[in-house]
């Protein structure tokens, strides 16, 4: 059951949790006849960056966009792009690429592809995780982005905007997306789908638990909802599903990341190492860990408590201590960022890299806390 593509937004009014970005984008679309050739969406994992990129392309190529900043969804271009969104494939005028080739060759391929004309108004290239490009590739990309050829338009998506050169950021319209609260995901996404799909044995409490488990990330929440519904359909009693889901490999990364952060912040090396055993994808694991620790740091600096229920429950013992701890956590982030770079750039024992970084971080934080 592919709920992700089936319920992926095909109009701006369906995007949840990003009201500010949607309002600015809608206003931009209503006011401009010529859309900016390069746009940057930045924000945490699974917050709607590529979804908004597709909607931007949808509007750009629509033959009869309306005054509310929405595409008509009826013309040939709209129908082609919507079909691509629903099937999870590229369209005739929209190409989504995850930046896996990091060097100049990747940019050369883009330059070659951008020369071709398309049937629609614009040809859109959506580059996900664009921060993975090397400095040399960014230099080459700068020339491509300054003057895109013909019909070509670019959308850059990244979870780490700080890694982009200033020369790249300054040439984009920048939209910053926020982490989506579990309550928002549960109420505005999961519960309406439960009602529409007529899933049995799933109530509002269950959808909130699903949203909390994945930190409010819509795509991951939809995958977990599908698994939850399948478990009940397979004969599992609704009250037994939460226990069953904890043993499912797809859920373990989220739980493990929370436990890992709790372990290093409370000086429990054994707990942190236990969480690392469930680290299936090292780059994803360390990326999500950095995202969570950044929020911890921001909360400490602003002297706020955690607003998300799962943080209140799992991390209530690590409220802001003092200036020394804030500085130490900043240094800990640098250590983990260095580990992330090593994992991305070199062929090494990723598990050993993370274990070494974990020992260093725990020792650092323990020294400060005394």
In tens, the pLDDT along 168-223 reads 887 778 898 988 888 999 999 999 999 999 998 899 999 998 888 877 788 888 98
- Please enumerate in sequence order all residues whose Cβ is within 8 A of that of 57, keeping only pairs 6 or more positions apart, or say none: 81, 91, 93, 94, 122, 124, 126, 153, 155
**Token code pair at residue 40:** 């940057």
User: Which of 242, 239, 238, 246 has the alpha carbon at shortest distance from 200?
Assistant: 238
Domains 3-176 and 252-369 share a fold: no
Write the pLDDT tens digit of every residue in 223-233: 889 988 888 88
pTM, whole model, 2 decimals? 0.72
Q: Residue 252: is its pLDDT beyond 70?
A: no
Locate the domains of the chain by residue range: 3-176, 182-245, 252-369
**Domain 252-369 classification at class level:** mainly alpha
- Using pLDDT thresholds of 50, 70 and 90, give the confidence band for residue 369: low
pLDDT at 316: 45
Q: Per-residue confidence at 107, pLDDT binned at 50, 70, 90?
A: confident
Q: pLDDT value at position 79?
A: 92
Q: What percent of the chain has pLDDT over 90?
A: 17
Round to the nearest angstrom and report the end-to-end CA distance of the chain. Answer: 51
**pLDDT tens digits along 53-64:** 999 999 988 888
Buried b (16+ CB within 10 A) or exposed e, 129-150: bbbbbeeebbebbeebbeebee
Q: Are 193 and 204 in contact (CB under 8 A)?
A: no
Neighbours of 37 (CB within 10 A): 18
**Quick one: average pLDDT of 243-268?**
73
What CATH homologous superfamily does 3-176 map to?
A: P-loop containing nucleotide triphosphate hydrolases (3.40.50.300)
Amino acid 309: pLDDT: 40
Distance, CA of 253 to CA of 284 (rounded, Å):
9
Classify the phi-psi angles of 338: left when phi > 0, otherwise alpha if psi is within -120 to 50, otherwise beta.
alpha
């Amino acid at each position: 059951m592919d709920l992700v593509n089936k319920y992926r937004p095909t109009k701006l009014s369906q995007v949840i949790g990003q009201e500010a970005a949607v309002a600015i984008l809608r206003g931009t679309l209503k006011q401009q006849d010529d859309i900016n050739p390069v746009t940057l969406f930045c924000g945490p994992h699974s917050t709607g960056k590529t979804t908004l990129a597709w909607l931007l392309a949808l509007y750009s190529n629509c033959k009869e966009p309306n005054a509310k900043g929405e595409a008509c969804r009826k013309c040939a271009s709209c129908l082609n792009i919507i079909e691509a969104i629903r099937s999870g494939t590229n369209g005739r005028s929209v190409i989504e690429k995850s930046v896996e080739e990091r060097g100049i060759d990747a940019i050369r391929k883009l330059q070659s592809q951008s020369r071709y004309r398309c049937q629609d108004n614009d040809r859109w290239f959506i580059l996900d995780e664009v921060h993975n490009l090397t400095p040399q590739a960014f230099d080459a990309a700068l020339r491509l982005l300054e003057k895109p050829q013909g019909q070509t338009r670019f959308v850059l998506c990244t979870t780490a905007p700080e890694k982009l050169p200033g020369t790249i950021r300054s040439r984009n319209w920048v939209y910053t997306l926020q982490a989506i609260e579990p309550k928002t995901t549960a109420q505005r996404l999961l519960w309406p789908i439960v009602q529409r799909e007529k899933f049995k044995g799933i109530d509002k409490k269950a959808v909130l638990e699903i949203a909390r488990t994945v930190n409010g990330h819509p795509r991951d929440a939809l995958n977990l909802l599908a698994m939850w519904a399948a478990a009940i359909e397979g004969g599992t009693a609704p009250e037994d599903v939460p226990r069953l889901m904890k043993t499912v490999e797809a859920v373990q990364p989220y739980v493990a990341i929370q436990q890992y952060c709790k372990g290093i912040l409370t000086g429990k090396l054994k707990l942190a190492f236990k969480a690392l055993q469930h680290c299936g994808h090292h780059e994803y694991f360390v990326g999500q860990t950095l995202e969570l620790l950044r929020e911890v740091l921001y909360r400490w600096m602003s002297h706020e408590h955690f607003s998300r229920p799962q943080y209140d429950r799992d991390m209530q013992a690590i409220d802001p201590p003092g200036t020394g701890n804030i500085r130490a956590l900043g240094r800990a982030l640098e250590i983990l960022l260095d580990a992330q770079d090593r994992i991305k750039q070199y062929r090494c024992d990723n598990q050993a890299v993370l274990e070494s970084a974990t020992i260093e971080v725990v020792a650092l934080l323990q020294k400060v806390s005394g």
